[in-house]
Amino acid sequence: MPYETMPERPAAEVTLPAAGEFLTVLRTTAAALAATADFIIDDIEDLRIAIDEACSVLISRAIPGTDLHCRFFVDDGALTIEASAHVIDRRPPPRSGFAWMVLTSLTTSVDAHVREPDELVVTMTRAGSKAKAG
């Protein structure tokens, strides 16, 4: 799903402290929403790893004491996740780096950009195998 055409209302929104101990909540949310979209187990596991990787990048750059915000959109057999945090280092992750390699291999599409003065946003979409086949 192109980012410009995401539904206005997300299926879920989660805001948590930007700290690693809260990643399990985001992995679980992604898995639950993917299951409702009839994703197969392999797709769900790929999403769990992808959200973990994207949010780890954001957490590592987050301004201390700030939050990590995730919005989840379900549409036509695909799950799009927009994760953002206010960060010290606004530069998107290097596209030649390990994190980007993981994200591009586990998602259908991924993008990173800066919004507002210090908010880094990573948006990724994963189409379920059933959606890809049909």
Number of domains in the chain: 1
Domain enclosing residue 27, as ranges: 3-133
Q: Buried (b) or exposed (e) across 40-75, using 16+ Cβ within 10 A?
A: eeebbebbbbbbbbbbebbbebbeeebbbbbbbbbb
Contact 110/123 with Cβ under 8 angstroms? yes
Give per-residue pLDDT as tens, 2-59.
455 566 789 999 999 999 999 999 999 999 999 999 999 999 999 999 999 999 999 9
Distance separating alpha carbons of residues 30 and 45, to the nearest angstrom: 9
* CA–CA distances in Å: residue 18 to residues 2, 46, 113, 117: 27, 22, 18, 18
Residue type at 110? V
Contact 18/66 with Cβ under 8 angstroms? yes
Q: What is the pLDDT of residue 5?
A: 56
Output the domain CATH number for residue 24. Answer: 3.30.565.10
Give per-residue pLDDT as tens, 77-110.
899 999 999 999 888 888 999 999 999 999 999 9
DSSP structure class, residue 114: E
**Mean pLDDT, residues 106-128 taken together:** 94
Backbone angles phi, psi at 65, to 5 degrees: 85, 0
Residue 132 scores a pLDDT above 60: no
Higher pLDDT, 8 or 126: 126
Residue 126 scores a pLDDT above 90: yes
The whole-model pTM stands at 0.88
